[in-house]
Amino acid sequence: MAKSPEQEHPKKAFGWAARDTSGVLSPFKFSRRATGEEDVTFKVLYCGVCHSDLHMTTNDWGMSIYPLVPGHEMVGEVIEVGSKVKKVKVGDSVGVGCVVGACHSCENCTNDLEIYCPDMILTYSTVYHDGTITYGGYSDTMVANERYIIRFPENVPLDASAPLLCAGITVYSPLKYFGFAEVGKHIGVVGLGGLGHLAVKFAKAFGAKVTVISTSISKKEEALEHLGADSFLLSRDQEQVQAAKSTMDGILDTVSASHPILPLIELLKTNGKLVLLGAPEKPLELPVFPLLMGRKTVAGSATGGMKEIQEMVDFAAKHNITADTELIPMEYVNTAMERLAKGDVRYRFVIDIGNTLAATKP
């Protein structure tokens, strides 16, 4: 008979888990593997709350395995390293993002695109090489193979940098891949949440002209004055939409729910690209004719490979890019999830794991 989560590995661990599709999180005792020779073990200090955590705790994508400990934007301090580990040492600041394993031999892995490996192992709710289920960063400790460990420079604030590990790379990677990371390119950002606000910051750092496209006028002032966007387009204002038609080289769409994409396609110039980053549970409608008339592309993109994540973290440190966060104690997480579902966060909840998790132990 399979061992329980609490007994399957030698090291005791504690976190918060969802038990069913209600998504409600509660304290959960489990275990972590011993530090293998290529492994890094770290104490988790902070973990961002991604909208994907919400999709996963409620099984929106039909792939959740319960009990489910979410969290793929975790940062902390190394407490133990295996004998073959070269990347980091005890005391270093590190993090783990969305992926903790892959085959390391396919074409994607060879090209530093572990995220697209057919055998890619997600940080939580996935079967690991040893047959046990992976658990994420809403927990006190983490063990990962060093390939999946990201180093943080000493001078960066770890709480506000945690969201770079998913939200940051998810916008950085397509900005670079699709040719948007260039001075003078006009880039639209749809959905000003965790991903969206970092998309504005990275696109600006690359020298692009950025327009935030939103359904909510309440975000205008912050988008322009605080985040540094060049313009704001209220998507239900037909006059504004009309004036912006055929002006954008690229659009990053980070909306978490189904929505019409025709109005976005119309904003693109000839050869423009709409890149879908949000992961709504239901399919979107794809109007074909407007794509033909202008040789336009609709594409998708997932987080990014390990090499690119390190590049992005180093770029963010150089350009002082961090997330705008609301730091919350562990016991607030269910309220935070409710607020996230309503779009009520500016712009990322980060759980203060290091200072608040232990107090919730039963």
Ligand X SMILES: NC(=O)c1ccc[n+]([C@@H]2O[C@H](COP(=O)([O-])OP(=O)(O)OC[C@H]3O[C@@H](n4cnc5c(N)ncnc54)[C@H](O)[C@@H]3O)[C@@H](O)[C@H]2O)c1
Residues within the interface to ligand X (CB under 6 A) = 50-52, 55, 166-167, 170, 191-196, 215, 254-257, 259, 277-279, 301-303, 340, 343
**Both tokens assigned to 199:** 């998309």
Residue 80 parent element (H or E) = strand 74-81
Q: How far is C-alpha 165 from the chain's CA centre?
A: 6
Chain Cα centroid distance, residue 56: 13
Rounded CA separation 192/298 (Å):
20
Hey, is 263 helix, strand or coil? helix
**323 is in the binding site of which of Zn ion, ligand X, none (Cβ under 5 to 8 A by kind)?**
none
Of the candidates 189, 192, 209, 217, the residue with the CA atom closest to the CA atom of residue 323: 192
Stretch that binds Zn ion, among 133-141, 149-157, 163-171, 237-245 (CB under 5 A): 163-171
Q: Under DSSP, is residue 30 helix (H, G, I), strand (E, B) or coil?
A: strand
Provide the token pair at 281: 């549970």
**What does the block give as tokens for 205?**
């750092």
Bond before 347 cis per omega within 30 degrees: yes
DSSP-based three-state secondary structure for 358: helix
Regarding 50 and contact with Zn ion (CB under 5 A), the answer is: yes
- How many CA atoms within 13 Å lie on the side-chain side of 93? 15
Among 99, 156, 166, 169, binds Zn ion (CB under 5 A): 166
We find the least distance from the C-beta atom of residue 41 to ligand X, in angstroms, to be 26
**145: β partners:** 39
Residues 52-81: x where in contact with Zn ion by CB under 5 A, - otherwise, as a string = x-----------------------------
